Amino acid sequence: MPDKFAALRKKYLSSFPAKLEGIEEALKKKDMKLIHDLIHKLRGSSGGYGFDEISVHCKNIMQQLHESNNKTTKDIEKAIETLLVLLSTAK
């Protein structure tokens, strides 16, 4: 059973470059709804595959988005940039 989970986790990990690209594009366009949607999906799935740090970081970004009424701020942009680093360095 652990081998199956490891294979699934590896496959999920291989999706991170596309997720990273999608979030980067949405951030460039300042499309906060799309950012919220992408991060919401990432939060749920990353936790399920054992990427707890990414999941918690996504939760924090979603809270910041909610508190700012989905308007971009420097703090949100910085948090998203940290998330992008987490995605690009995940193993």
pLDDT digits (tens, 9 = 90+) for 28-87: 998 989 999 999 999 999 999 999 999 999 999 999 999 988 777 889 999 999 999 999
CATH number for the segment(s) 2-89? 1.20.120
pLDDT for position 1 = 52
Burial of 12 (0-12, 13-18, 19+ CB in 10 A): middle
73 versus 27: the higher-pLDDT residue is: 27
> What are the residues whose beta carbons fall under 8 Å from the beta carbon of 81, sequence distance 6 or more?
none
pLDDT for position 44 = 94
Give the pLDDT confidence of 66-75 residue by residue, as tens digits: 998 877 788 9
Whether the Cβ atoms of residue 79 and residue 1 lie closer than 8 Å to each other: no
- What is the spatial distance between Cα 31 and Cα 34, in angstroms, rounded to a whole number? 5
**Is the pLDDT assigned to residue 12 strictly greater than 80?**
yes
What are the start-end ranges of the H helices in 1-91?
2-13, 16-28, 32-48, 52-67, 74-89
Q: Domain locations in the chain?
A: 2-89
